[in-house]
Amino acid sequence: MTILVTGGLGFIGSHTVVALIEEGFKVVIADNLSNSSLEVLSSLEDITKENIPFHEIDIADEKVVISLFEEYDFNGVIHFAGYKAVGESVSEPIKYYRNNLLTTLTLADVCKKYGVTKFIFSSSATVYGDNNVPFDETMQLLPTTNPYGETKAICERILTDLANANTDFEVALLRYFNPIGAHPSAVIGELPKGIPNNLMPYITQVAKGNLKELQIFGDDYPTQDGTGVRDYIHVMDLAEGHVAALKNITTGVHIYNLGTGQGTSVLEIVKTFESVNNIKIPYKIVDRRSGDIAFSYADVSKAKKELNWSAKRNLENMCRDSWNFIQAL
């Protein structure tokens, strides 16, 4: 099976490429390098010992996507390409709506024209908004507080309508919780440009001495210790979830949470990171970040039952692998 991986040089896409090749899939990567670099391609080739076809293209550009589908006989697509910075989506909403919607519309349209009916989409737990935890796939989606989240909800809707109108389509909408960690080789991982917005990339920069201290956004939530609770998942587990979805997908639209089902607070992450890596992380408590919710964690029973997939790596693995990647840079 040949799978097109859009955004395949990004954080989650690159780890998924490794998991796919390990399972015998052939992979073609398309990425415009807007948030990644070509070095990731050579790291992927080092890890997998394979030459991986790569095309530097914009997935929103219909002409070039058509040429790609003329060149290869794809059996399915995994669509990671998109922008993901929540804060930036608030200040530059059009940029987010344009890229996230146009990439999805273009790719879905070309898939339809070429009869490529397996379509796996990167959605996000953010579409649950402030529902009660654990979030399960049947919940009504609540408005998110940012344009990024809206793009995910709209793309889910577009792909659902496509599959309703074309009953041969097999669509998986994968709602990721909080991916952290890195490949155990420490040659691929997450390295955001500029000052990180997300917790683990911030912690690793503090550990490295590039940032003075972690700011913890609020300790007055109704959680175990007052700090925000999230469902952190090792990126290799997440990657393997995509392989499981590809292998088990059937016609129609199927929504799966990809998380661990465990809620961990910010302070618990900090303590685990400190003890696993033997490094002190200085922090101070500051005001809540606007748009944050107290709890986000998944009900993971559907993915377990239907995809025969569940996360295997624990928080210690996640903290160790995140740090090993940053340390090795």
Applying CB under 6 A, does 83 fall inside the site for ligand UFG? no
Contacts by residues 192-197 (CB-CB < 8 Å, ≥ 24 positions apart)? 193/35, 197/85, 197/86, 197/87
State the binding partner of 257 from ligand NAD, ligand UFG, none, CB within 5 to 8 A by kind: none
C-beta of 106 vs 124, nearer to ligand UFG: 124
In the residue annotation, 148 being an active-site residue is answered as yes
- Residues 242 to 281 in contact with ligand UFG, rule: CB under 6 A: 266
State the angle between helix axes of 235-248 and 11-22 in degrees (0 to 180), rounded to the nearest 10: 60
Active-site annotation holder among 83, 96, 128, 148: 148
Size of residue set near ligand UFG by CB under 6 A: 22
Applying CB under 6 A, does 35 fall inside the site for ligand UFG? no
For tokens 């809206």, name the residue. 150
Vertex 236, ends 232 and 237: CA angle to 5°?
A: 60
- Considering the complex, what minimum distance in angstroms separates the CB of residue 230 from ligand UFG? 5
The set of residues, in sequence order, having a beta carbon less than 8 Å from that of 5 and lying 6+ positions away, is 13, 16, 17, 20, 27, 28, 29, 30, 77, 78, 80
The set of residues, in sequence order, having a beta carbon less than 8 Å from that of 59 and lying 6+ positions away, is 6, 7, 30, 32, 65, 79, 81, 103, 106, 107
C-beta of 25 vs 80, nearer to ligand NAD: 80
DSSP 200: H
**Residue count of the chain:** 329
Applying CB under 6 A, does 177 fall inside the site for ligand UFG? yes
C-beta of 79 vs 118, nearer to ligand UFG: 79
Applying CB under 6 A, does 126 fall inside the site for ligand UFG? yes
C-beta of 114 vs 217, nearer to ligand UFG: 217
Residues lying near ligand UFG in the complex (CB under 6 A): 84, 86, 124-126, 176-178, 197-199, 202, 214-217, 228, 230, 266, 289, 292, 296
Active-site amino acid positions = 148
